[in-house]
């Protein structure tokens, strides 16, 4: 049963519409669907919202620590609410999938994603769920950092929105604990 949804991204207007902020975009859409707003909470080093989905309380988090230090924020919130890593869903951009692709997985490495790397380091485990939103790979000659910190094309943005909407459709099942069913459908 998922109790906390963390969207990964970087704070600040200059990063708002970048590929790397796909996770922030996801939790912003979810908060809007729930009719709730984020509030800055210093002890969690980020913005937090609380909503009800499928009759379950769901916490939403946008770390304000920048991507590379996301674990500080996630770890603080998990500890405060006494949540287990397997109750955590981290939503992030995924280079290995084309724009529009969305997949759910548990465990695994960080695959070079610095936000995931820091969360794994802070929690001391890989035992949490990840909703991976495809952004594709940079074109030849363009550095990965430059690519993820730039805005997607209009077509890529539309595909990312579609992937987010697909992921949002499964949030009630994730909150209700139907994780295997979601994995079977979303990864098919």
- Largest Cα–Cα separation, the chain: 48
**Residue 57 CB neighbour total at 10 angstroms:** 11
CA pair distance 186, 105, nearest whole angstrom:
10
CA pair distance 119, 88, nearest whole angstrom:
11
- Annotation marks residue 110 as catalytic: no
Selecting among 20, 92, 113, 122, the annotated active-site residue is 20
CA pair distance 183, 179, nearest whole angstrom:
6
Catalytic residue positions?
20
């Amino acid at each position: 049963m998922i109790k906390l949804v963390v969207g990964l991204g970087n704070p600040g207007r200059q990063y708002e519409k970048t590929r790397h902020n796909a996770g922030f975009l996801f939790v912003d859409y979810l908060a809007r669907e729930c009719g709730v707003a984020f509030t800055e909470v210093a002890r969690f080093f980020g913005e937090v919202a609380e909503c009800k989905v499928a009759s379950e309380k769901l916490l939403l988090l946008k770390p304000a620590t920048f991507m590379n230090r996301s674990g500080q924020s996630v770890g603080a919130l998990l500890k405060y609410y006494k949540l287990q890593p397997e109750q955590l869903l981290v939503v992030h951009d995924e280079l290995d999938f084309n724009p529009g692709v969305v997949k759910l997985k548990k465990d695994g490495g960080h695959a070079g994603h610095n936000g995931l790397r820091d969360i794994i380091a802070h929690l001391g485990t890989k035992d949490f769920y990840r909703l991976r939103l495809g952004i594709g790979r940079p074109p030849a000659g363009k550095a990965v950092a430059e690519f993820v910190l730039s805005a997607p094309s209009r077509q890529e943005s539309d595909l990312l929105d579609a992937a987010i909407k697909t992921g949002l459709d499964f949030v009630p099942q994730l909150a209700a604990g139907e994780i295997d069913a979601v994995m079977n459908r979303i990864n098919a």
